[in-house]
Structure 1
């Protein structure tokens, strides 16, 4: 592993993920089946998830309404503590697919993780620009602090891009590492930072606390997906029909969620143990951007790659065709 010494710091994390995954694969018995079948005769798909609430609702609805089972799938969903953990599980073969942030997949792929996006859940990036009580516009952020997961994270890169596109200048903000969504909200409330990018249910909590919501980043970065299905091509190639059936079920479920708001909101409230009003607000934020055919905007993906390179999320660009394929989406989808 001497090559690790020559990797830039931003790639060491992904290299560690790959090593962990390879060790896990080596530990697996050589006779392990590539495709598991449950006692009911359904084929098992293991999905590791990093998303929240309404972003996850198409998966939740597919399970609740038996849509995955109707496609011959016994779906097992595991919650990941982080995208790095999810990636390690994919590389090791312990998980078949993952629900991840598009920005993470792009940067991880550029750093060597063998991830490929095969489906889309949300057509737009649903980050809300949340500011402290004394800040009501982007112009007022000059000299203030932004709280994010880290300097090379997609969340931070998006905010830098927004500041530049708005004409304020990304250099006018100081960027502070405070953690992921819960940490960002806590940091704004504590006055440690004055702005952060949040999704539901954290943006709902922010508004309830009297913080300002300056809207989503969609006007500045349109077409960037908030939630995608990704996997490792080597794993998916062993069971292409299973991946196709999973995606067909997910598209069907996504369409149901988009077409049945009342029932979807009720399910969201029950599954997430949310107050009905919060469930409605969470659903309303993404209802119009559910990806009803599962495809991804390749041009918007290229834009995000350009943004990621410019603002330091990744050292070198990747080609959209190398990290996204629609080959597993059925034509009827």
Structure 2
């Protein structure tokens, strides 16, 4: 079954999760603001600039009333867009290639990049001061879902470091994402690939230790990007421009503020995360240059993503950069 068809099969589920559009009052003009239904692939500190835009009134300043919902999963997130249950989605740009390769009439288009590196980390049972990737040889790695971007990046990083995944390293891939931390803590695997805040929480609890960053090792990628349909760009260019302007302002805010200030700003969205963990996570992400400082998805990053996908055997046909990437709004935002 094709990815596009699978997207559409769950459209009804997503429609029930996302609330229909309405109107509010814009903060800067007093005019009616434009409702934007935004679906994120998951809810994560990884997307800190987005939550800054929400809590600091940046979207409102640009005349937008952004309604956020988590779709929980790549297929479901793209389905939200294709089924008109969301106006904009935040997820990996690889999904736009899948849609394009299904000969969709209304393409999914990347218009503003948020994160520029993978957000996962390699965690060991004991601290390793001088880690080298050959230490994984003959070991068991508790990995991510086959075909998902985190697993593709992990296997590509292993390849770049002289390892042959699944031959030199045994990779367990039948553990659900939310259970990876508990499974590792209970004794499964020698190493585990984890996202934040689980990786930092494991360190604080003394159950695991971050020894490598997949984001640093793999280089810059359009890891999470704001995506909309080509028809929405054609029909509502002013809305997409306002959204991109707000994203750029939030990126600049994050780039110019301290970790403590970012933590204060996004705390309303992560009330269950204690401050020590929050600061550790934000510091780790900021140190490795996780967040893009502008919304342009550049061509070099796009081709790096292609290389990751090709190695994983997940890219049947290359999709021209210009077909699924629109930098017009990002460039205008930066020129204002």
Normalised TM-score (structure 2):
0.83
What is the CA–CA distance in structure 2 between the aligned matches of 1:214 and 1:51, rounded to whole Å?
Answer: 25
1:98 maps onto 2:113 in alignment? no
Residue 207 of structure 1 corresponds to which residue in structure 2? Answer: 203
Q: 1:38 aligns with which of 23, 36, 56?
A: 23
Alpha-carbon distance in structure 1 between the residues aligned to 2:191 and 2:283: 23
Query: Any conservation in 1 of the 2:4–2:102 contact (CA below 8 Å)?
Result: yes
Query: Deviation of residue 102 (structure 1)?
Result: 3.4
Work out whether 1:248 is the aligned partner of 2:233: no
- Equivalent in the alignment of 2:282: 283
Aligned to 1:222: 219
1:8 match: none
Q: Match of 1:235, SS?
A: helix
Report the RMSD for the aligned CA atoms in angstroms: 2.7
Distance 1:285 1:110, change over 3 A: farther
Q: CA deviation at 1:104?
A: 4.5
Q: Deviations over 1:194-237 (max 9, x none)?
A: 33332221211232243131221234321113321112212332
- Number of residues paired by the alignment? 314
Partner in structure 1 of residue 262 of structure 2: 264
| Offset, 1:141 | 1.7
Question: The residue matched to 2:226 in structure 1 has which SS?
Answer: strand
Label 1:62 to 1:228 Cα distance change in 2 as closer, same or farther (>3 A): same
Measured in 1, the distance between the counterparts of 2:101 and 2:126 equals 38
Give the alignment of 1:123-142 within 5 angstroms: 123-133=116-126, 137-142=132-137
C-alpha deviations, 1:145-191, integer Å up to 9, x for none?
A: 33334322222221111111112332312232235542322332233
The equivalent residue for 1:160 is 155
Query: For residues 134 and 193 of structure 1, do their structure 2 counterparts lie closer, same or farther at Cα, with a shift above 3 Å needed?
Result: farther
Alpha-carbon contact 1:127-1:199 (below 8 Å) kept: yes
| Distance (whole Å) between structure 2 residues aligned to residue 306 and residue 91 of structure 1 | 26
In structure 2, the residue matched to 1:120 is 113
Number of the residue aligned with 1:4: none
> C-alpha distance in 2, partners of 1:195/1:104?
28
CA-CA distance at 1:299 after TM superposition: 1.1
- Post-superposition CA distance 1:220-274 (Å, at most 9, x none): 3211133211122123321111011011011101211221223212123343122
Specify whether residues 13 and 88 from structure 1 end up closer, same or farther in structure 2 by C-alpha distance, changes over 3 A only. Answer: same
Which residue does the alignment assign to 1:317? 318
Contact kept in structure 2, 1:15 and 1:112, CA below 8 Å: no
Q: Compute the displacement of 1:78 (Å).
A: 0.5
Equivalent of 1:18, from 8, 12, 19? 8
Matches of 2:235 and 2:12 in 1, distance apart? 17
TM-score between both structures, scaled by the size of structure 1: 0.84
**2:90 and 2:226 in contact (8 A); partners too:** yes
Structure 1: gaps spanning 5 or more residues: 1-10, 26-32
Alpha-carbon distance in 2 for matches of 1:108, 1:185: 32
- The alpha carbon displacement at 1:112 in A equals 5.6
Q: 1:138 and 1:168, CA in 2 relative to 1: closer, same or farther beyond 3 A?
A: same
Deviations 1:73-99 (A, max 9, x none): 000000112121111110011100111
Structure 2 unaligned spans of 5+ = 26-31
Q: Deviation at 1:39?
A: 4.0
Distance in 2, Cα, partners of 1:148 & 1:168: 15
1:196 equivalenced with 2:196 (yes/no): no
The Cα offsets for residues 125-145 of structure 1, whole Å up to 9 and x where unpaired, read as: 222112334986422222333
SS across alignment from 2:188: coil
CA shift in 2, pair 1:39/1:117, >3 Å: closer
